[in-house]
Each structure stands twice: as structure tokens, then as C-alpha cells.
Amino acid sequence: MASETISNPNLDSTLREDRIFPPPAEFAAKAHVGSLTAYEELYRRSIDDPEAFWAEAAQELEWFAPWTRVLEWNQPWAKWFVGGKINLCHNCVDRHVQNGKRDKTAILWEGEPGEVRRLSFAELHVEVQKFANVLKGLGIQKGDRVAVYMGMTPELAIAILACARIGAVHSVIFGGFAAHAIVDRVNDSQCVAVLTQDTSYRRGNEVKLKATVDEALPQCPSVKNVVVYQRSGSAVTMQEGRDYWWHELMATAAAECPAEPLDSEDPLYILYTSGTTGKPKGLVHTTGGYAVGTYLTSKLVFDLKDDDVYWCSADIGWVTGHSYVVYGILQNGVTTVMYEGAPNHPGPDRFWKIIDDHKVTVFYTAPTAIRAFIKWGNEHVAKHSLDSLRLLGTVGEPINPEAWMWYREVIGKGRCPIVDTWWQTETGAIMISPLPGAIAAKPGSATRPLPGILPEVVTRTGEPVPAGQGGLLVVRKPWPSMARTIWGDPERYEKTYWSDIPGSYFTGDGARIDQDGYFWLMGRVDDVINVSGHRLGTMEIESALVAHARVAEAAVVGRPDEMKGQAISAFVTLESGNEPSPELKDELRAWVAKEIGALARPDDIRFTDQLPKTRSGKIMRRLLRDLATHGEIKGDTTTLEDFSVIAKLREQDE
Ligand code: ATP
Ligand code: MG
């Protein structure tokens, strides 16, 4: 599929969206970038002289030694801030302790059962130094890989900051993955230790993290030690000589551990992608450039101010959690909220209660969560005021315009700008997003590129496509937070991202640019549907379905069809209180034809309670395509959230 799209990348666009929401004047007046002109000037300057632009941003951080060159670029190999010495933990923690924020809350944590912990920057400083000494005490050195398989606890943030402090390379493995996912990831990068916890709480149940580690480790010969944070106190087995309790090691750890002056290009972490399009890839991020990219994008996109209480609901197991729960936010010295559990425990209003209880000002979540909130009903939102909010964000998938409108009206009360942020594990930081005080939003568009970023929509040979026409989304210039390679497989890195389109980083996503220069993400090029010679992105047909009052969520895929090349299969979940019926199928098919044209009318519609998703909440269309085409699943399913969804879909098939 991918290669077919790459050979003919032009996509037909069907979405018509003309609503536009300028930044509220009051918001713009206080914003870091407060007008379209200011954005355009900044952007122009950043593209005319990217090195000067990025160097200026880097100067807002603390370096132990200056760089001698901003960029050394030998496509696809980048070195940023060459020769510079920096420590990201120092910039997240020590810098604020030294600059008057000792007592300010750095991490505001809420457990699923309801307990609250606040760690000030000074307290976080104590914890990361001690835990860095714990790591050293286990013989872990700069460059060693350390797997982190924990729940959303402050200790997870402490663990990765402590690795960053001594130059150990962390590899966070999402705490919901099964043992074989640990085995694959730990072995791929030869981790020497695993940091975990006894259990974590999810929807009132205990997730047995340590037991899963025990199941994995017999197949992981590189692992010498396991450190276990005691979260719940549930019984676990400890293997003598290999396993240690976090609190016991901390009790005797020395209090001081200076931050290691690391080379700007020393690796910071390895992180595997979500697996939406195939087998996950272990991307490597390095220190200096990643620090600068996450710092600057957090500041500009979330318009961060000292008094913000910022909450990103993503798990630290995903790149969003790395960049926008921990590193980008703490570098800005802003309070970051962490929540341990499920959005619907004990009730579907848990998130809104958290926002009111802690006076959250900036909230960042995913379209999948927004669609779930819509499905659960507005009455749960109505119980809370949400008065403290001033800015909303989304990430992870294209957001359907109707979900965007709901987010704006029901959560943002029409008052809060929304930043729809497009980026990837590979990009390390946000790439395309409105600056909320400068750029008018259009529902469903990630709007315009951030300063320093030069994305384009092109043909296979790298020619820009005309406005309004779909094509391949690429990035033309290197940027500091870009991944440097795939761990242990530089060839795969080069081949996956840098060989399809001459001179560009290829994102794997389809997009179009409108007459105002706004980017519209159309879906994965792997998922493009080819109907009678027209090439359709999935996003627009799905958005048309979601715009129907009874539809909560939709995924469309192509299946082979003798007449048309491909036929369109739609999988639809209904809003609560609606029953599937043949009449509703006809109605939905007619609805899509009316909304966006007969060409996009689904050939068949299947109702389902749930769609197959990755653990990060993204729709896995490739599995639906397998199912629609062959009646069975062929691709990699290691990051699938819930296997029973596939079984149920198959039953309905019969
Ligand atoms: P894999 O690469 O293993 O298939 P993945 O691409 O889902 O997994 P991530 O790096 O977590 O892994 O996700 C990045 C992708 O998510 C982007 O390429 C894009 O398709 C999608 N995405 C993220 N944010 C947005 C957004 N705001 N609008 C549209 N798409 C988005
Ligand atoms: Mg990807």
C-alpha cells in the first residue's frame, strides 16, 4: 500500500470546513506570540536563518560549555549544538531551584484512588539526586540502557530524570504492555536494568507490573538488576541479588549527585513508536537538540506562564508524555500534573473533577479521549465548572471537526483556544500547530508550522503540490529535536524516513495545504483508499461519518473491488442510546454522499462497540483492512489495546 501511494501520492480532498476561530483578544494580549504578524515575522526569520533562530532558543537554557557549531548536517545524520555540554535534568530541576522556584510545585500527582502528592522543585531535586546515586550504586554508567516499566507515579518521572542526570539512556515501556513487549524492547537495546513498581491502579484494578517483569526477564539476559517502587504494597516476589526495593536503596543513598555535563549529542532515550502502521521502531533522541526543541515548543504552543497548572493526560510511555509531561514543561519551570489512572474511574467525570480540584489552566489530551467523552455524555462535564482552563490541546490523530467543536464548546466553553498539534515520536517535539495567541484555528486543521520547521506537501519526486490538493507530508530542513537514528539499525532509519522523497524527511502522513497556508492531515499514506482512480484519505470520510448525530467514532478502509479498484468499508460506533439497524446503514451511506460526494459513499458499514486501537489510543486501520480484505489479521498486533475487539468484529463478520 505504502509504495503504491508513494508512486501516486496525490489525494483528492473532499472535506469542506469554513469555520474559523481567531484567538480571543484577551488571550492574544498576554501571549508570547500575540499576533499573526508577529508569528509571520518570527517564522520568516527562523527559516531565513534557522541556525541563528535555534541558537537563540538554546541560549534560554543553561549549558555547561558552549557549542562550537549549531548544526552539522550530513543528510540524514544531524548533530546539533556540536561540542556543547548540557544536562537535561539540570535544566528541568536544578536551574529552577537556583532561580527562586525551590518551593514551587514541580509535579502535582493524583493517584487513581484519590491521594494527592505535590513535589516542589527542591523536593524533586533531592529525589533525583538520590535516585541517580542508586543507579550509580548498581553500577549503571553513562551510556547504559535502562528500561522503565512503571505506572504514572512521580517516581516514573524521577526515574527518567535520574537517568538523564547521569547520562544513562532510558527506554520507557508502556506499563500496559505484556511481557513479550518487554522482552522485545529490552533485548533490542540490551538494557542492564529494569525500573518497575509492584502494581499500579487502573479502573479500580491492580496492574501487576513486577509480576510481568518477572515473566519477561528469563528471556532478557542483559538485565542485571530490577528496582521496584512500592506503590500499592501488594505482594511480589523479589529475586535475591537481582531485585531491590526502591525505598530501601533510597534510604541509604547519598544526597548529592552533581548533574553530569553531557555532550549535546549523547543519547538521552530510546522510545518505540505506537505501532499504528506496523512493527514499532526504536527511535533514539539525543540531549541538547531535544532539550531545546521541547523547551521552546512547550513555551510557545502552550503559551506557558509561571502561574500555569499544566496537565497533559498522556502516559509517559508515549512520546507525548516524555516531551510534554516531563521534559518540555519542567524545563519551563511550570507545574506539571500527573494522573495515575483511567478517565472514567470512579465515574466518567474524573478528568473534569481533576481540572476543578487543581485549577488546571492548560489541558492537553488525545482525540480518542475526546470521542469517548462525547460518547459518555455532556451531563458528566456539566457537574464541574472548568473555569480555570484557558487553553486546550490535542495530539495523536487527526481530530474530526465535530469532535473539535465539542471540545471547544463543551470543555472550553467557547473561551479557550485549541491547539491541534501534529508531530511524531520521530520529531521529538511539536511541528505543526497554531500558536494560540497568533493563529486563528480551523476545526480539524493543525494550522501552520512552528518557527524553525519547514514542512511541505509534495509529490513522489518532491515537487510541491498546488494548494488544496493532497500529497505527501515531508519536512525540508533538519530541526534540533529530530530523532537521530533507529537504535542499532541506522540503515532502517535512512530507508524508512530519508529515501522516498529526495532531500526530505518523509513523515508517512498524507496532507493538503489550503489557500491560507493551513495544513490538513488526511491520514496515513498506508491507509489511502483508491476508488475509481480517486485517492481518498481516511480522515475526511471518517469526519463526515462522525458529523452525523448518532455516530461516535468511525474508521474507514479500502478493500479490493473488481469494478472500482477499491471499495470503502466503514466501521462505525454509535453514540450511547442508539441501536444498529439496516435503515441507519442506508442513512449513513446517504449522509456521507450528501456531505462530501457520492465517490466517498461507503460500500458497506459495520457497526461495532469498539474499534481496534493501539495502546496509545489510535485507530489501527491496517487490522480492519486485513479483516475487510482477508477476513483475518495478518499484521503485527503487539501494541493492540484489546484483542477481544478483533474477535468480536470477526464474529459479526460471520
Ligand atoms: P507507528 O509509527 O509505529 O505506526 P505511530 O505513527 O502511531 O506508530 P506516534 O509517533 O505515536 O506513532 O504517532 C505519530 C503519528 O500520529 C503521526 O505520524 C500522525 O499520523 C499521527 N498524529 C499525531 N498528531 C496528529 C495530529 N494533531 N493530527 C493528525 N495526525 C496526528
Ligand atoms: Mg509513525
Query: What's the 276 CA to ligand 2 centre distance in angstroms?
Result: 7
Question: How big is the chain by its Cα radius of gyration, in Å?
Answer: 24
pLDDT of residue 633: 86
Rounded to two decimals, the ipTM of the complex is: 0.99
Residues that constitute the known binding site for ATP: 396-398, 420-425, 509, 524, 535
**Are 39 and 46 contacting, i.e. CB atoms less than 8 angstroms apart?**
no
For residue 636, the model assigns a pLDDT of: 85
Low-confidence ranges of the chain (pLDDT < 70): 1-7, 14, 653-654
| Separation between Cα atoms, residue 412 and residue 373, nearest integer Å | 14
Bridge partners of 523, per DSSP, are 510
What class has domain 532-651? alpha beta
Nearest CA owner, ligand 1 atom 16: 396
Helices of type H across 8-49: 25-30, 36-48
The pLDDT score that the predictor gives to residue 320 is 98
The reply to whether ligand 1 has any atom less than 6 angstroms from the CB of 321 is no
Q: What is the pLDDT of residue 1?
A: 39
- Ligand 1 atom closest to Cα of 523? 20
Pairing assessment for the beta strands 145-149 and 169-172 based on DSSP bridges: parallel
Distance CA 451, CA 436 (A): 14
**Ligand 2 centre distance from Cα of residue 427 (Å):** 10
Q: Which atom of ligand 1 is nearest to the CA of 318?
A: 11
pLDDT of residue 2: 46
Please name every residue paired with 553 in a beta bridge, in sequence order, or none if there are none: 573
pLDDT, residue 3, reads: 52
Predicted pLDDT of residue 591:
96
Interatomic CA distance for residues 243 and 21, integer angstroms: 55
Instruction: Give the other-Cβ count within 10 Å of 173's Cβ.
Output: 24
Any idea where the domains of the chain sit in the sequence?
Answer: 532-651
Q: Which one, of 94, 104, 127, lies nearest residue 305 by Cα?
A: 104
271 lines ligand 1 (CB under 6 A): no
Evaluate whether 224 touches 236 at the Cβ level (below 8 Å). no
Taking a C-beta distance cutoff of 8 angstroms, is the pair 152, 176 a contact? no
pLDDT for 639 equals 87
